[in-house]
Each structure stands twice: as structure tokens, then as C-alpha cells.
Amino acid sequence: MRKRIYPFAKPGFRANLKKPDDTGGRRKTEWDLERILPRLLESGRLALSYFDAPVREFKKDHSLVTVADRSVEAYLTAEFNQPAFGAFVLGEETIESQTEDYLTRAFEQEAWVIDPIDGTAPYANGLPTWGVSLGWMSHGVLKEGAVFLPALGELYYSNKGQVFREKTGSDPDLWKSRPGTPQKLTPPPPNLLQGSMLSISQQLSRRGSYRLPFYIQVTGSTVYNLVKLISGSYSAAVTKFKLWDFAACLPMVSNLGWTMEFHSGGVMGLDMNAGVIKRDQNDPNRWEARDEVIFAPNSEVAAYLRAGTAPE
């Protein structure tokens, strides 16, 4: 049977999944990996179909966006948006078009938080440090998440308190279902060792200061930074982000026991109704975390990072 071509896909793109998810009228709010992971892989295929020649645009805030961002978000929205059943979608490229009533219900009921391409600048410039992310939020609390790094063939996801990584291989045409044997990730080592590498934000690197003796990297992608944190490439991170940047990653980071603290003090929790993000509709920085966030193995290391860095 000929594969269906998604109407919002790049011409010539052939879908591995022949039709949208059909739950027979049931709510799409369960964290079902057999349903979720194939759709994340399909999103990666869709994003990669534009990767060689991405069409760039600029949003009102002058940030970069591509046709691929919009296409991936349209695909995932079509798969997961079911407001009649209490299942909502909060996506980076479409959240501003939603009504306040829709947004309120999303934080009161169940929501899928989508970043279609986190790391649009690396993506648009041919770098592999970008990912597709899908977070699941219930009554404002981030519960589970999955991140796919298509250019690297790496899939990360949480499930029932555990965190896993799988290698998908380099051939997108073979990304049809569960890719392989999952590797269970483990909690971080307790200390920063000599030679460790830290991830810091664009804001900190441009307008703040860093006074620590460790190597640093600025990638332009929160999801890349955080999955590389939990898999051991980075030993800590200091970053600033918006809801869709971290929604998929925070459950994974939390499950593994990492310390998450605001640079100004206080714990960064998973409850998005508890003042950890800016929710006021008149705030120009709506949906941002209220401050830079430190990810560290423990509170002692977090205090050390706080003393050695200074956001603007």
C-alpha cells in the first residue's frame, strides 16, 4: 500500500505511519510509549526532510523559526489535540494563537507540551544539536517526557519513574516503531571532576559572567543540553528556558535525582501552577522560567555553581 503523504510535509516526504493516531474516541492522555515513540520518530523524519535546505523565517521577537518547526508542530498537534476529551496541546509555534480559556483548561486538565525543533538556530545552520520534544503535563504538573535527537539517532524518554536511552540508527526510513534495546540511565556522580564539561545558556554567555575552572559549551538547544546532562556528557548546566524547552526533560532530570534550583534561590519543581514560570498574559516574557536554573548533582554543587556564575 502506498504510504500517505502528510499535507503539511515537504513535497516528496513519505510517511511511515499511514494514518493519524485513531483512539476510537478515547482520550489521548495516557503515557503510552507504543503510541508516543513512533510519533516522535515520525516527527524526526519530518524534520530531517527539511534539514539540508531549511526555509528560515523570523518571529515577532526576532527569534528564528523554520518551515520544519511549523510542520512538525502541525503533525503532533493533529495527533494529540483533543480538547473535547480534556487533552490539550501547548506548542511553541501555536501557543500565542490559543484563547485564554484554552490555556487555562490546559493547565487544569491534561496537556501535551511540544517543542517541534528545540535548537532551531543549530538546525538552520546545519548542526546536529537539536531535538524534537514531547512532554506530558497533568493538572499543571510535568509527569513524563520524551526527546528525540534525529541528526544523532538518539531517543530519550521517561516511564514510570525511570529514564531510558535508545539508539535509532542513522536511516530515517527505518524509524517505524520502537528502535531497539533501551539503556536505563542512572543517577549522577556526586562531584564535578577535573576535566568536566558544563553547559551554559546563550544569555549567560553573552551578558553574564562565568568564573569556574571547567570547560563550557553553548549549544543553543535546551533539550540537547539536558539529555546530554542525564546521559553523562555534561556534569552540570546553568540555563534559561521557556515551558516547551524543558517540559519533556524535567521529568527525566527529576527521576534521576538531579538537583534543580533557581539561580536566585529556591527549588525548580515540576508543578507549573506553583509560580516556577511566568504565566501573566501581559508579561512580555510569558512562559519563561522565572530565573536561570542550575542543574547539579546535589545542592552543594549547585551553591558552588551559583557563586561562580552571574546572569545579567
Could you state, in order of their start, the residue ranges of all structural domains in the chain? 33-184, 197-310
How many angstroms separate the CA atoms of 87 and 109, rounded? 7
| 197-310 fold | D-Maltodextrin-Binding Protein; domain 2 (3.40.190)
At 59, is the pLDDT very low, low, confident or very high (cuts 50, 70, 90)?
low
- pLDDT > 90: percent of the chain: 76
CA nearest to 199, candidates 230, 239, 227: 239
Average pLDDT, the chain: 89
- Residue pair 259/286 in contact (Cβ under 8 Å)? The answer is no
**Could you report the per-residue pLDDT of 113-122, keeping only the tens digit for each?**
999 999 999 9
Q: For residue 248, give every residue at least 6 positions away whose Cβ sits within 8 Å of its Cβ, in sequence order, or none.
A: 113, 115, 133, 134, 135, 145, 146, 147, 223
At 171, is the pLDDT very low, low, confident or very high (cuts 50, 70, 90)?
confident
Does residue 53 have a pLDDT over 70?
no
Q: What predicted TM-score, i.e. pTM, was given to this entire model?
A: 0.90
- pLDDT > 70: percent of the chain: 85
Structure confidence at residue 13 (pLDDT): 57
**Could you report the per-residue pLDDT of 254-283, keeping only the tens digit for each?**
999 999 999 999 999 999 999 999 999 999
**Could you report the per-residue pLDDT of 178-197, keeping only the tens digit for each?**
667 899 999 999 999 999 99
Architecture of the domain made up of 33-184: 2-Layer Sandwich (3.30)
Better-scored residue on pLDDT, 57 or 251: 251
